[in-house]
Structure 1
Amino acid sequence: MNRQEAGKVMGPISNHDLFFCGFHVAKNNPEVQVTTMHYCGMRGEGDHGMHQCLLYDSAGPGAKLLGVEYIVSDELFRSLPDEEKKYWHPHTYEVLGGGLVAPAMTPQEELDFMTNLLTTWGKTWHTWPDPTTPVPLGEPLLMWSLTGDGQSNPELIAERDRQFGVSTTKVQAERVEAIGYEVPQVPPPKSLATIGRQWTATGEDSPTPRKKSSQ
Structure 2
Amino acid sequence: MDSLPIDNKAAGSPESTTNKTLETGASLVQSFAPIQRICAHLNAFHAYAHDPSRSIETNHYCAHLNDEVRQCILYDSPHANARVLGIEYMITPRLFGTLAPDEQKLWHSHVFEVKSGMLVMPKPGPVPDAVWEVAENKEMEQVVLLYGKVYHLWQVDRGDVLPLGEPQLMTSFTGEGQMRGFEEKVGERDARLGTDWRRKKEVREEIEELRVEGNADLTWTE
Shorter-chain-normalised TM-score: which range? Answer: 0.7 to 0.9
- Partner letter of residue 195 of structure 2? V
Corresponding residue of 1:157: 186
Shift of residue 5 of structure 1?
4.1
Once the two structures are superposed, residues 130-157 of structure 1 have per-residue CA deviations (whole angstroms, 9 ceiling, x without a partner) of: 3421111111110000100112233321
Please give the alpha-carbon distance, in whole angstroms, between the structure 1 residues aligned to 2:164 and 2:26.
Answer: 36
Matches within 5 A, 1:100-119: 100-104=119-123, 106-119=132-145
Q: Structure with the greater relative contact order (CA < 8 A, sep ≥ 6): 1 or 2?
A: 2
Corresponding residue of 1:6: 30
Task: Report % sequence identity.
Answer: 32
Q: 2:42, 2:119 within 8 Å by CA — same for their partners in 1?
A: yes
Corresponding residue of 1:137: 164
The structure 2 residue matched to 1:179, chosen from 192, 199, 207, is 207
Going from structure 1 to structure 2, the CA distance change for 1:6 and 1:44 (only over 3 Å counts) comes to farther
Structure 1 unpaired stretches of 5+: 187-193, 202-215
Please give the alpha-carbon distance, in whole angstroms, between the structure 2 residues aligned to 1:151 and 1:159.
Answer: 18
Please give the alpha-carbon distance, in whole angstroms, between the structure 1 residues aligned to 2:163 and 2:26.
Answer: 33
Cα RMSD after superposing both structures? 2.7
Bigger fraction of residues in helix:
2
> Which secondary structure state, in structure 2, belongs to the residue aligned with residue 62 of structure 1?
coil
Corresponding residue of 1:170: 199
| 1:87 partnered with 2:106 | yes
Q: TM-score, normalised by structure 1?
A: 0.78
| 1:98 partnered with 2:117 | yes
> Which secondary structure state, in structure 2, belongs to the residue aligned with residue 172 of structure 1?
helix
**Stretches of 4+ moved more than 3 A in 1?**
1-5
Q: 1:130, 1:137 within 8 Å by CA — same for their partners in 2?
A: no
